[in-house]
C-alpha cells in the first residue's frame, strides 16, 4: 500500500508541471529569431524572408526596452565595428537592471555571421524605431542620417525592404520635428539612386515621401511635375499604392480636376486596410468635399462607418447645409468647425462650396416656384451683398447658362420663370447613370483579376503524344490486372 501511494504521487507531479503555462519568451529571444530569418533570407536571396522579419519587428516594437536593444546590438554586430560603436552610443543605458540572457536559445541562432549588410541595416532600423517610440527625436535624426549614408554604398535587393522602411522613418522623424524642408535635397538623389538600381519598392516609397514633402508646404505644382515625370512601374506595396492614390487625389482636387480626384480618393479608401483607420478617415474627408464640389450628395452610410462617425461629424453637417441649399447654415457650420477644417487643410476647398450651396438653393427654388421675383430669390438665398437683386440676377443667369436649372429671366418684371419639369426617363440621363455604374463594376473586376496570384504554369504544359500513349497503356494494364484479381476471388 505505501508503495502504491508513492507511485501515484510521483505520477501526479509531472502532470501538475505539464498543466502550468509555459513562460513567455523574452524579447531578446525574439530578436535573435528575427536575425536568423534575415540571415537565411540574405544567404538564399529571398526578399520575402526579409519582409517577414520586418513584420515581426513591427509586432514586437511595443515590448522593446533599452536593455534588449543593447543586448541585441552586442549579439548581432562585431564589437569593433563602427556601426556598433555609433548605435550603442545612441541607446540609453539602464542602471540597476540586468539584461535578458536567453539561455534557451538554440545554437543555430547564435551563429549569426558578422558582416552581413542586412543585419547591420536591420540594427539601424531597430534602434531608429526604438528612439522614435521613446520620443528621442534628436538621437533618432542622427541615427536616420547615419543609416541613409550607409545605404548609399549598398546595392543589394535583399536590403531594399529594410531600406524602404528606413526612408519612411527618416522622413517621419523630420516631420515630427518640423524640418521636412531640410531633407528634400536628400530624398531626390535617393530616388534617382533607387531608379538606377531598379529598386522599385524604394522608388514608390521615395516618390510618396517627396509628394508628401511638397504637399506639406502646399507646393502642388512641383508635386505634379515630379509625379508626371517619375518613371512608371507596377506597384509592389499596397500601402504605398494607397498613399500614392491619396496624394494624387489631393493634387487633382487643387487643380480643379474633380472627377479624377474623386476616383483616386475613393480607390485609396477602398484599397486601404481596415486597420489604417486614420488614413481612411482622411481619404473620406477629401472624397466628401470633392463629391460636394461635383454637385453630388454623399450617402448617409459614408458618415456612419465604424470608427469614423465622430471624425466625419463636421463634414456631415456641412453636407446637410449643401443639400438644403441654406447659405446661412453653411456659414455657421464653416465658422463652427473652422479649426477642424484648417487642421485637415480643407478650408480653402470649403470656400469653393459657397457657389454650390447657392446653386442648390436656386435649384430648389426653381422646382418649388413657377414664377418668383429676383428680390425674393435674393431674400431666400440670404445674399448679404450691397445690391442683392443684381447679384441674384447674375447667379440665375449663370445657372441657366450652365444648365443647372431650366428657366428664363423676365427682365421687364424682374422675375424668374421656371419651365415645366419634363420626364427624366425620356432623356439620356438614366442611360448615362447606368453606363457609369457598369464601367465602375467592370474596372473593379479587372483590378481584382490583376491582383490575383496564380501558381506556376508548369503543370499546365500539354503532354506529348508519346507520354499520352504510355499513360493510356498503363491504365489498360492496371484495369486488366484488377479484372484478373476479381476473377480469382470468384
Residue 398 covered by a domain: yes
pLDDT band at 246 (very low <50, low <70, confident <90, very high): very high
Residue 442 covered by a domain: no
Q: What is the mean pLDDT of residues 388-394?
A: 76
pLDDT higher for 359 or 8?
A: 359
Of 297-301, 305-309, 348-352, 477-481, the poorest mean pLDDT is in 477-481
Residue 181: is its pLDDT beyond 80? yes
Look at residue 8 in the predicted model and tell me its pLDDT: 44
Residue 355 covered by a domain: no
Average pLDDT, the chain: 78
Residue 331: is its pLDDT beyond 90? no
Residue 80 covered by a domain: yes
| pLDDT, tens digit (0-9, with 9 covering 90-100), for 425-471 | 777 888 888 998 999 899 888 888 887 766 555 555 555 677 778 87
Residue 205 covered by a domain: yes
CATH value at residue 393: 1.10.10.10
Q: What is the mean pLDDT of residues 183-199?
A: 86
Q: What is the mean pLDDT of residues 94-106?
A: 45
What is the pTM (predicted TM-score) of this model? 0.73
Look at residue 362 in the predicted model and tell me its pLDDT: 78
What percentage of residues in the chain have a pLDDT greater than 70?
84
Residue 276: is its pLDDT beyond 80? yes
Residue 13: is its pLDDT beyond 90? no
Q: What is the mean pLDDT of residues 397-413?
A: 75
Residue 410 covered by a domain: yes
Look at residue 15 in the predicted model and tell me its pLDDT: 43
Domain boundary at 193, 219, 245, which?
A: 219
Residue 75 covered by a domain: yes
Q: What is the mean pLDDT of residues 276-293?
A: 90
Number of domains in the chain: 2
Of 222-226, 346-350, 454-458, 478-482, the poorest mean pLDDT is in 454-458
Look at residue 454 in the predicted model and tell me its pLDDT: 62
Domain boundary at 201, 219, 237, which?
A: 219
Domain boundary at 200, 219, 238, which?
A: 219
Residue 211 covered by a domain: yes
Look at residue 438 in the predicted model and tell me its pLDDT: 93
Q: What is the mean pLDDT of residues 280-304?
A: 88
pLDDT band at 483 (very low <50, low <70, confident <90, very high): low
- List the domain range (segments joined by +) for residue 86: 27-92+114-219
Gap between the Cα atoms of 31 and 278, Å rounded = 29
Amino acid at each position: 500500500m505505501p508503495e502504491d501511494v508513492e507511485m501515484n504521487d510521483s505520477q501526479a507531479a509531472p502532470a501538475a508541471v505539464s498543466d502550468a503555462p509555459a513562460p513567455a519568451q523574452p524579447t531578446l529571444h525574439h530578436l535573435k529569431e528575427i536575425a536568423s530569418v534575415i540571415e537565411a533570407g540574405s544567404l538564399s536571396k529571398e526578399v520575402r524572408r526579409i519582409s517577414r522579419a520586418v513584420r515581426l519587428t513591427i509586432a514586437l516594437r511595443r515590448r522593446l526596452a533599452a536593455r534588449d536593444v543593447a543586448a541585441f546590438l552586442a549579439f548581432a554586430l562585431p564589437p569593433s565595428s563602427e556601426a556598433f560603436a555609433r548605435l550603442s552610443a545612441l541607446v540609453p543605458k539602464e542602471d540597476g537592471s540586468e539584461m535578458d540572457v536567453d539561455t534557451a536559445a538554440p545554437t543555430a541562432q547564435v551563429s549569426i555571421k558578422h558582416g552581413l549588410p542586412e543585419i547591420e541595416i536591420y540594427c539601424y532600423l531597430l534602434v531608429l524605431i526604438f528612439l522614435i517610440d521613446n520620443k528621442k527625436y534628436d538621437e533618432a535624426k542622427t541615427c536616420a542620417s547615419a543609416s541613409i549614408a550607409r545605404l548609399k554604398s549598398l546595392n543589394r535587393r535583399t536590403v531594399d525592404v529594410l531600406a524602404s522602411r528606413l526612408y519612411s522613418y527618416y522622413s517621419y522623424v523630420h516631420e515630427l520635428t518640423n524640418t521636412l524642408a531640410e531633407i528634400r535635397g536628400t530624398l531626390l538623389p535617393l530616388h534617382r539612386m533607387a531608379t538606377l538600381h531598379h529598386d522599385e519598392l524604394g522608388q514608390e516609397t521615395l516618390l510618396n515621401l517627396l509628394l508628401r514633402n511638397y504637399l506639406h508646404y502646399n507646393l502642388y505644382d512641383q508635386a505634379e511635375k515630379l509625379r508626371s515625370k517619375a518613371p512608371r512601374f507596377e506597384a509592389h506595396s499596397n500601402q504605398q499604392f494607397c498613399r500614392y492614390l491619396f496624394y494624387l487625389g489631393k493634387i487633382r482636387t487643387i487643380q480643379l480636376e474633380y472627377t479624377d480626384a474623386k476616383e483616386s480618393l475613393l480607390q485609396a479608401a477602398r484599397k486601404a486596410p481596415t486597420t489604417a483607420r486614420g488614413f481612411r478617415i482622411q481619404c473620406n474627408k477629401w472624397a466628401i468635399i470633392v463629391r460636394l464640389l461635383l454637385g453630388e450628395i454623399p450617402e448617409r452610410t459614408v458618415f456612419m462607418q465604424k470608427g469614423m462617425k465622430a471624425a466625419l461629424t463636421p463634414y456631415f453637417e456641412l453636407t446637410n447645409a449643401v443639400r438644403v441649399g441654406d447659405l446661412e447654415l453653411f456659414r455657421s457650420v464653416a465658422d463652427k468647425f473652422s479649426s477642424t477644417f484648417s487642421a485637415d487643410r480643407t478650408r480653402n476647398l470649403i470656400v469653393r462650396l459657397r457657389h454650390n450651396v447657392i446653386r442648390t438653393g436656386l435649384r430648389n427654388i426653381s422646382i418649388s416656384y413657377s414664377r418668383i421675383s429676383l428680390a425674393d430669390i435674393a431674400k431666400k438665398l440670404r445674399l448679404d451683398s450691397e445690391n442683392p437683386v443684381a447679384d441674384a440676377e447674375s447667379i440665375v443667369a449663370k445657372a441657366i447658362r450652365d444648365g443647372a436649372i431650366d428657366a428664363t429671366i423676365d427682365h421687364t418684371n424682374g422675375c424668374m420663370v421656371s419651365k415645366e419639369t419634363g420626364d427624366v426617363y425620356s432623356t439620356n440621363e438614366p442611360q448615362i447613370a447606368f453606363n457609369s455604374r457598369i464601367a465602375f463594376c467592370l474596372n473593379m473586376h479587372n483590378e481584382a483579376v490583376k491582383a490575383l496570384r496564380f501558381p506556376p504554369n508548369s503543370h499546365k504544359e500539354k503532354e506529348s503524344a508519346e507520354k499520352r500513349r504510355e499513360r493510356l497503356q498503363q491504365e489498360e494494364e492496371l484495369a486488366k490486372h484488377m479484372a484478373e484479381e476479381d476473377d480469382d476471388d470468384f
